[in-house]
Amino acid sequence: MAALPVSVLLLLLCWVGPPAAGQKRKEMVLSEKVNQLMEWASKRSVIRMNGDKFRRFVKAPPRNYSVIVMFTALQPHRQCVVCKQADEEYQILANSWRYSSAFTNKIFFAMVDFDEGSDVFQMLNMNSAPTFINFPAKGKPKRGDTYELQVRGFAAEQLARWVADRTDVNIRVIRPPNYAGPLMLGLLLAVISGLVYLRGSNLDFLYNKTGWAFVALCFVLAMTSGQMWNHIRGPPYAHKNPHTGQMSYIHGSSQAQFVAETHIVLLFNGGVTLGMVFLHEAATSDMDVGKRKIMCIAGIGLVVVFFSWLLSVFRSKYHGYPYSFLMS
C-alpha cells in the first residue's frame, strides 16, 4: 500500500510535467517570433517575406497576432500597374499603423512578392495579384479574410475598414501632405484675378452664358461618369488577366467599376451631348441650309454611334439586358 502514492506521484509527474515544459517552450518560441517581427516593423512598416519567413511567422504556430499579407508582383518585368498602385495605398495604411500611438504587436503588415515567394503562391493556390489576406491569430483564414479588391478598391481607407472588421484594430489613415489641390486652387484664383485686373473695365465675359454652360456641362459629365465613386472607393485603373494577359477596362459587375471605365463612359456621354448640341444648332442657327444639313447629319451620327456604345457598356454590366442598338 505504501507504493501506491509513489506510483500515483510518478504518473502525475508524467502527465503534468511534460505539458508544462511544452507550454513554456511555446511561450519562448512565441516571444522570439514577436520580438523579431517588432524589430522588422520598427525598420519597415511592411515586412517583406519569402517562403521561409512566411511559413515560420505566418503559417506555423504558436501565434497570438494577426498578419495582413499583400501578395503582389512588383518587379518591372511583371508589368503589374495595379500592383504598384495598391502597394502605395498599402504602404500608407502600414505607415499609419506604425506611427500611431495605438501601435501594438497585435497586428503586423507583410508582403510576399511572387518573384521572392512563388512557392507561397503555389501553396495557397493563388494565381492573381494583388491579393490581400488576413491571417488571424487563431485558426485559418476564413472567406471574409480575403479582401474583395474588385468591389472595394485598394484605397487605404477601405483597407483600414476591412482590417478593423477582421481584427478589431482601428487604424486612422494619415496620408502624406498633398499640395496639388491647394496649388491648383491658387493657380485658378491667380488666373481669375489676372483676368479681372486686365479686363477690369469690361467684365461682360463673366456673364457669358456659353462659358458657364460649358463649365456646368463638364461638371455634370464628370459626375455622371463616376468620378466621385472613384474618389471614394479608389478602384484600380484596369484589370489584367493573369492567365491570358488580356486587359479589361469595363468591370463585369454593376456594383463596381474601373477608372478607365469612367473615362470611357465620360467620352460616350460627351459624344451624345455633342451630337445633341449639333442638332440644336442645326435647328435654331441662322446658317445657310447646306451647313445646317451637314450639322444635322453629324449630330445624328454622333448620337447614334455613341449612344449605341453606351448601351453596350450597360449590357455588359447588367447581364441579361434584352435590348441592343446598332452594336451589341
Output the average pLDDT for the chain.
83
Q: Is the pLDDT of residue 175 over 90?
A: no
The pTM of this model reads: 0.58
DSSP string, 45-64: SEEE--HHHHIIIIISSP--
Q: What confidence tens digit (pLDDT) does each residue in 74-123 have?
A: 988 887 878 888 899 999 999 999 988 888 889 999 999 999 988 999 99
Whether the CB-CB separation of 240 and 80 falls below 8 Å is answered with yes
Q: Give CA separation, 81 vs 140, 145, 226, in Å.
A: 30, 24, 21
Q: What confidence tens digit (pLDDT) does each residue in 233-285 have?
A: 667 778 777 667 778 888 877 777 888 888 888 899 999 999 998 898 888 88
**Where residue 1 falls among pLDDT bands split at 50, 70, 90?**
very low
A 10 A CB-CB count for 120 gives: 23
Q: Which residues contact 251 (CB under 8 A, 6 or more apart)?
A: 150, 235, 239, 257, 258, 261, 317
> Could you give the CA distance from residue 23 to residue 112 in angstroms, rounded to a whole number?
31
Run of H or E including 86:
helix 81-98
Q: Which residue has the higher pLDDT, 161 or 257?
A: 161
pLDDT > 70 in the chain, percent? 86
Q: What confidence tens digit (pLDDT) does each residue in 40-58 have?
A: 998 899 999 999 999 999 9
Residue with cell 479589361: 248
Whether the CB-CB separation of 156 and 173 falls below 8 Å is answered with yes
